[in-house]
A and B are shown apart, each in its own frame.
Chain A
């Protein structure tokens, strides 16, 4: 069996150098779009079709202490992926046997439903190509036995690549260490609501992931689940049941013939 691969982001070791952002741009051969300085240590305000890996920077006052929180933000490669659920084009979003959620651009029709289906709001539609882009977990490098570019370049070992099971073990161990060191709320963030993500985080403040720019309890949006679940059944019943009912009605009841009253 092919093991599920994952990235571990130990936010306590991130120094905000942004080398991973640069490595991502370089490896994926992305043009860099310059922005405006917004008085923050964050490079760009948001992910973009040509920018798949963002170190979110936020300042928070937690219990009277000033905190600089930094968290790598990219596709989380969910086990139960909202983008796949929402995608209408067969084969446009696939889950590789190693757990990587990959966009196959020749099958993408550019509807953007995946953006709405994603609980993390990650995919971005390119106005130029009318296709949607996001982190591939360097599926091309991983297929060749290499680690993703962001991980290769990380200077502090904040980022680790490996099998998800191993990394989950390491992450829990690291969180326990941190708790022993007095960070009572340290913990692991790995999206149980979406069947587990293949990007795992160690957070000092695991009780408040929103402060890192991570959703508190990521789940596939209920409107998407309702649409792709019960509504699809109801709709198919209406469409095919309607045709069948018409057939049965025609055979059993038949047409209304006009009668002759008018001529009488």
Chain B
């Protein structure tokens, strides 16, 4: 049997897939309201009134789960000097060139940036979403800000997730299995997260 290294604990994996599902629901029902041309998505999720009623609840579930993930991961997501150098040559990483790309820890700088992008946009989505949920109780100034900030944050977060899903399903074979079943091979770890692999070895 191939040697297995634990990459994500079961708690991390369950939290990830719950947040992924609630994100997908919130994003798709949100996109239904983004443009008249995408309103057909509302029919998929039970009609316009159902979407209006449940999108905020999906959003609350997403925000709570993300807060849990944030608590678990925030300390590991701080950018170090290597990460900053990684970001400076991220175009090389994108083109699959390995020359001059610093070795990554448990999370590479791209993943860390995604974490901060999702956390900050979720905070913005949550705050503006509360305002949009109960327009009848909210002062006009807040509503005027919320109708702009909510879609701004949504565009940022959906844009980030498009990259995230593409990377983990198609660009890095083994990443999806790591998040689903929790393990990777030593070869995988050494290739994609060399610093993390070395630190594991030392222990």
A residues adjacent to B (C-beta < 8 A) = 86, 88-90, 107, 109-113, 115-117, 121, 124-125, 127, 130, 221, 223-224, 226-227, 231-232, 234-236, 238-239, 242-243, 246, 249-250, 253-263
Contacts and interface: CB of A to CB of B under 8 A. Distances in A.
A125 B135 contact: yes
B147 interface: yes
Nearest to A116: B143
Contact of B52 (A86, A111, A117, A124): A111
A238 B33 contact: no
Nearest to A127: B136
A224 B132 CA distance: 13
A88 B187 contact: no
Contacts of A255: 170-173
B190 A262 contact: yes
Contact of A224 (B34, B135, B144, B197): B144
A133 to B, nearest CB: 12
Contacts of B174: 258
16 contacts: A88-B36, A109-B49, A109-B52, A113-B147, A116-B143, A117-B147, A125-B136, A224-B147, A231-B152, A232-B35, A235-B154, A249-B171, A256-B171, A258-B190, A262-B191, A262-B197
A95 to B, nearest CB: 15
A223 B163 CA distance: 28
Contacts of B151: 227, 231, 235
Contact of A238 (B148, B158, B197): B158
A231 B49 CA distance: 25
A158 to B, nearest CB: 29
Contacts of A227: 147-148, 151
Contacts of B182: none
A70 to B, nearest CB: 24
Given A90-B36, A109-B48, A262-B187, A239 B158 contact: yes
A190 to B, nearest CB: 23
Interface residues of B, number: 47
Contacts of B119: none
Contact of A116 (B49, B140, B166): B140
Contacts of A116: 135, 140, 143-144, 147
Contacts of B48: 89, 107, 109
A256 B189 contact: no
B47 to A, nearest CB: 8
B162 A246 contact: yes
B185 interface: yes
B140 A121 contact: yes
B188 interface: yes
Given A239-B155, A239-B162, A261-B191, 5 more contacts: A109-B49, A112-B136, A246-B166, A257-B191, A262-B187
B39 interface: yes
Given A261-B191, A262-B190, A256 B96 contact: yes
Interface string B39-64: 10010000011011000000000000
Given A107-B48, A127-B136, A234 B187 contact: no
Given A253-B94, A253-B95, A257-B173, A109 B147 contact: no
Given A112-B136, A235-B155, A258-B173, A221 B144 contact: yes
A258 B148 contact: no
B18 interface: no
B167 to A, nearest CB: 9
Contacts of A121: 140
Nearest to A126: B136
Nearest to A224: B147
Contacts of B96: 253-254, 256
